[in-house]
């Protein structure tokens, strides 16, 4: 791992557990063992480092969800696999994702609350990418694009809601509950 990757990895861990604004550069340098000059050779500012951590987590999270849904026999199974993956993450049964501290993208976007802020925009791009992945699987169930869009948005809302419930309320069954709602939603739309 080169110094840039090390800085991003350590920064991500600290920011995810404690929040971006709560972690100072000195703590990051101490935890990473990297000199301040080296940090600023790789990242012009703390915001540049934060943006790199958002990209790092996006690649990690997206690859993880894509892998967990890829082997599904059909679109419906893939959607259920998404919620099974979340359940594993919430309950610390998936070491690839590390300990659960909510959605990194929601947490970071809350710290950069202006919708047009570049870091907020990067977090929004992640959500759009996850929506496209969900829509791909929903498109295997329904042929009408309007239905695909509607159901994909509903599933994303349930996914994000499960993450918030698990984090804010400590409801470690939130993904299981959301999966049950998705099953009812799909059943109702399929029988129309």
Domains of the chain: 46-190 (1.10.357.10)
CA distance 29 to 11: 9
Tokens 């990194």 — which residue? Answer: 104
Tokens 């809601």 — which residue? Answer: 161
CA distance 139 to 171: 30
State residue 189's pLDDT score.
79
The encoded tokens of residue 19 equal: 């929040």
Burial pattern 157-172, b for ≥16 Cβ within 10 A else e, equals: ebbbebbebbbeeeee
Rg over CA atoms, the chain: 18
State residue 190's pLDDT score.
76
Phi, psi of 75 (to 5 degrees): -60, -40
Mean pLDDT of successive 10-residue segments in the chain (192 residues)?
A: 92 98 96 94 96 98 96 95 98 94 97 95 98 97 95 98 98 98 91 72
CA distance 78 to 100: 22
Q: Which of 3, 95, 15, 1 is nearest to 55 (CA)?
A: 15
Contact (Cβ atoms closer than 8 angstroms) between residue 15 and residue 23 = yes
pTM of the predicted model as reported, rounded to 2 decimal places:
0.94
User: CA 103, 135, 166 angle in degrees (round to 5)?
Assistant: 25
State residue 191's pLDDT score.
75
Other Cβ atoms within 10 Å of 185 Cβ, number: 16
CA distance 86 to 81: 9
């Amino acid at each position: 791992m080169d110094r840039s990757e090390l800085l991003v990895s350590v920064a991500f861990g600290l920011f995810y557990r404690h929040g971006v604004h709560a972690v100072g550069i000195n703590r990051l340098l101490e935890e990473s063992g990297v000199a301040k000059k080296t940090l600023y050779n790789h990242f012009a500012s703390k915001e540049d480092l934060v943006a790199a951590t958002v990209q790092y987590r996006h690649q990690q999270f997206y690859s993880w969800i894509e892998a967990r849904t890829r082997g599904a026999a059909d679109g419906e199974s893939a959607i259920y696999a998404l919620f099974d993956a979340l359940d594993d993450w919430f309950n610390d049964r998936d070491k690839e994702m590390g300990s659960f501290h909510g959605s990194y993208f929601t947490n970071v976007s809350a710290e950069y609350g202006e919708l047009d802020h570049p870091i907020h925009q990067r977090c929004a791009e992640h959500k759009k990418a996850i929506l496209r992945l969900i829509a791909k699987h929903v498109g295997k169930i329904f042929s009408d694009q309007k239905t695909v869009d509607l159901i994909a948005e509903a599933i994303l809302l349930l996914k994000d809601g499960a993450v918030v419930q698990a984090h804010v309320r400590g409801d470690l069954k939130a993904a299981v509950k959301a999966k049950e709602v998705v099953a009812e939603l799909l059943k109702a739309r399929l029988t129309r």
